[in-house]
A and B are shown apart, each in its own frame.
Chain A
Amino acid sequence: AQRVTQPEKLLSVFKGAPVELKCNYSYSGSPELFWYVQYSRQRLQLLLRHISRESIKGFTADLNKGETSFHLKKPFAQEEDSAMYYCAPPSRGGYNKLIFGAGTRLAVHP
């Protein structure tokens, strides 16, 4: 089945350390993937989309077709980055439904 997979449920790092949240996908071609973030007591919100190739809050994500991955990276983690992160497909077109992976909880310790 076409899906995204986040193998890590929890990623715990110290402030200033690099982080990489893993996401693998099984869609064919070049899927348009997204990273959403859910901070404590806040709604889910878009963090970044691969098609824009932008950096948001210091995070970047590159689509690697060879590895079918879309890992989220940040060189220096901050405590305010602590949140749940979800890799997701688009909500339209042939995908038809927006199913999230298990998500990864990032805990950044002082």
Chain B
Amino acid sequence: GAVVSQHPSRVICKSGTSVKIECRSLDFQATTMFWYRQFPKQSLMLMATSNEGSKATYEQGVEKDKFLINHASLTLSTLTVTSAHPEDSSFYICSASRGGAEAFFGQGTRLTVV
């Protein structure tokens, strides 16, 4: 149990376009979801925390208008990278909590902006 599915696993988009990444909790209700960005051989950098039905809380330095997060249901959160640029290319990971102390992670999405 406690599976988190992230889609797509890889995406290539043109500079200036927007791309949406979905994070779904398949067999539990995720009260809180976290979005991370991970650079090669580095730790996960928390971008934002979202609670179902509420606005996401963004970490300092993360542009809200650039990285739109929606957590409309207890099983789905989306991250939309708007007007993507090559510097947005990265590995994005979502994590979900069902109210307990443990977090469950998606497989990640590799975004390449060309």
Q: Is A102 an interface residue (CB 8 A)?
A: yes
Tally chain A residues at the interface, Cβ within 8 Å.
24
- A92→B99 contact, CB < 8 A: yes
- Measured CB to CB, the closest approach of chain B to A49, in angstroms, equals 7
- B100→A92 contact, CB < 8 A: yes
- Measured CB to CB, the closest approach of chain B to A92, in angstroms, equals 6
Given the known inter-chain contacts A43-B107, A97-B57, please indicate yes or no for A90 contacting B101, CB distance below 8 A.
yes
Q: Is A44 an interface residue (CB 8 A)?
A: yes
Can you show 25 pairs from A to B with CB atoms below 8 A apart? A42-B107, A43-B105, A43-B106, A44-B105, A46-B102, A49-B101, A86-B44, A90-B100, A91-B32, A92-B32, A92-B99, A92-B100, A93-B101, A97-B57, A98-B46, A98-B49, A98-B95, A99-B46, A100-B43, A100-B44, A101-B43, A103-B42, A103-B43, A103-B44, A105-B41
Given contacts A44-B95, A98-B95, 19 further A-B contacts (CB under 8 A): A34-B102, A43-B93, A43-B107, A44-B44, A44-B105, A46-B102, A49-B101, A49-B102, A86-B43, A88-B103, A90-B100, A90-B101, A91-B97, A92-B99, A92-B100, A98-B34, A100-B43, A101-B43, A102-B42
